[in-house]
Amino acid sequence: MSVRERGGLLRSRDFRLLWTGETTSVLGSSIAVVALPLVAVVTLQASTFAVGLLTAVAWLPWLLIGLPAGAWVDRRPKRPVMLACNTFSMLVFLSVPVAAWSGLLTMTQLLVVALAGGVAKVFFNVAYRAYLPSLVDKEQLQEANEKLQGSESAAQIGGPGLAGLLAHWFGAVSGVLADAVSFGISVLCLRSIRHREPERPAKTRSRLRDEIRDGLDFVVHDPYLRVLAVFGAISNVALMGYQSIEVVFLVRDLGVGEGTAGLVLALVGAGGVFGAALSGKLAARIGTARAFILCEGSGALMMLLGPLANGGWGLAFFVAAGFSLSAGVVGSNVLNATFKQRYVPAEMFGRVTASMSVLGFGAIALGGLLGGILGEIAGVRQTLGLMAGLEVVAVFALLFTPIGRSRDFPAEPRN
């Protein structure tokens, strides 16, 4: 029985469990996004390069295993994969506070934990995006993505603030412990879902290499997916090059305390809730493709204000830039995810998602590394300005693609 037949998304016990588990996990991860750099900066006195490297290694697995992961996930039920990934992540992140309390924590362990967590995230994300279309009707995907992205953004608002408070009260590693606990709650929610994915017709299994090639070919030969993949890669270099050194900028350049840094990043994350709520209304009024470009463009232009921030009331520039950027990115992510879930055939979804994610998320690793290197060489404020400029150029280039010439994303691939 579909979710719609049972009375809608909010009446569906299974969707509520998925929603609760994913939101809780995102809350923990958003705490860890701030807590891990704080542990590196405050506890281990790490350099700007090391902080950027910490971000880079978390996304490196997309480059190393993203393509085979997509093909492998397409062969299997998605919920067991998600359960295994979150159980593994819980244990990996739990090792950080245990090592810290034992006096054994090192920067090497933080890098290993970030890398291992990134491996689990590759498999989880591919499975999660492919699982949602089997849980809800196609007509409800926009609403489902709005709810998931909206609550995830709300969790990201509280996460940085909680990370700052936890660091102030109990030490930075307590935020990493909270992340481990959140993965445990997500596991319990996933185990409680009753829905089981439909059996797929048996077919002769081809070689993994051939299945990977099929996914790549689908993306390369589709004018919309190809553009989204290339744009996503360039944009992610800019966004992660910017975000990977935000904590360094706030704590070292602007001289704000740990709690204030968490509060500022929480205010920045509030834009995501606004963007998720607005995306559907905007798409209905001006079209899905136009709404996508508007979300991306408004966020990119406001991003230019971030490097102008100073201490005191000058932080308002940083908050305004981050709030608008968060709203634009989350709004466009809702539209992008809904488009792909409706557009890509179910049996190809894992491979297509992984093919695009290898380029897009692999670029996040490059952006994190680039942010750390340029932050050391050119300065943190200058690097923020450079990354903002790159994002504006990437969005401007979208206007000259099939997306820029369309009112709406297409409903299905053209033969």
Boundary (domain end) residue, out of 195, 220, 252:
195
Q: What is the DSSP letter of 42?
A: I
Question: Are 127 and 223 in the same domain?
Answer: no
* Residue 191 and residue 221 in one domain: no
The crossing angle, in degrees rounded to 10, of helices 107-135 and 141-170 is 160
Residue 284 falls inside a structural domain: yes
- 380: CB partners within 8 A, 6+ apart: 48, 245, 248, 249, 252, 253
* Residues 167 and 269 reside in one and the same domain: no
Q: Which tens digit of pLDDT belongs to each residue from 334-386?
A: 899 888 888 888 777 777 877 787 778 778 778 877 888 888 888 888 999 99
d(CA 65, CA 261): 34
Question: In CATH, what number is assigned to the domain containing residue 28?
Answer: 1.20.1250.20
Q: Give Cβ neighbours of residue 196 (< 8 Å, ≥ 6 apart).
A: 77, 79
Is residue 159 located within the same domain as residue 285? no
Tell whether 2 is covered by a domain: no
Nearest CA among 402, 384, 151 for reference residue 292: 402
In the listed set 195, 227, 242, which residue is the last one of a domain according to the structure? 195
Q: State the amino acid at position 279 in one-letter form.
A: S
Q: For residues 8 and 1, what is the distance between their CA atoms, to the nearest angstrom?
A: 12
Is the domain of 188 the same as that of 226? no
Q: Are residues 176 and 214 in the same domain?
A: no
What range defines the domain where residue 117 resides?
10-195
5 belongs to a structural domain: no
Short-list 347, 362, 341, 369, CA closest to 67? 362
Residue 137 tokens, joined:
């009707």
Q: Are 110 and 14 contained in the same domain?
A: yes
Residue 78 lies in a domain: yes
Report the b/e string of 311-346 with b at 16+ CB within 10 A.
eeeebebbbbbbbbbbbbbbbbbbbbbbbbbbbbee
**CA–CA separation, 259 vs 168, rounded Å?**
6
pLDDT of 414 reads 64
Whether 228 and 98 map to the same domain: the answer is no
Domain boundary among 168, 195, 222: 195
The domain total for the chain is 2
- pLDDT score for 199: 63
Has residue 4 been placed in a domain? no
CA distance 357 to 227: 13
Residues 122 and 225 occupy one common structural domain: no
Pick from 280, 16, 20, 17: nearest CA to 143:
280
- Is residue 253 domain-resident? yes
**Same structural domain, 386 and 249:** yes
Q: Is 329 within 8 Å of 37 (Cβ atoms)? A: no
Which residues of the chain are modeled with pLDDT < 50?
Answer: 1-7, 204
Q: Where does residue 76 fall: left (phi above 0), alpha (psi -120 to 50 degrees), or beta otherwise?
A: beta
Q: Are 223 and 79 in contact (CB under 8 A)?
A: no
Residue 383 lies in a domain: yes
Instruction: Please give the Cα distance from 166 to 29 (Å, whole number).
Output: 14
CA distance 214 to 234: 24
Query: Does residue 320 share a domain with residue 183?
Result: no
Distance CA 25, CA 88 (A): 13
Structure confidence at residue 3 (pLDDT)? 46
Place of tokens 């606004």: 274
Between 13-38 and 258-286, two packed helices, what is the crossing angle to 10 degrees?
Answer: 140
- Domain match, 187 and 223 both: no
Calculated CA dihedral for residues 34, 36, 41, 45, nearest 10 degrees: 170
Residue ranges of alpha helices (H) inside 221-287 are 223-243, 246-248, 258-286
Instruction: Report yes or no on 202 lying in a domain.
Output: no
Give me the pLDDT at residue 198, please.
Answer: 67
pTM score, whole prediction: 0.69
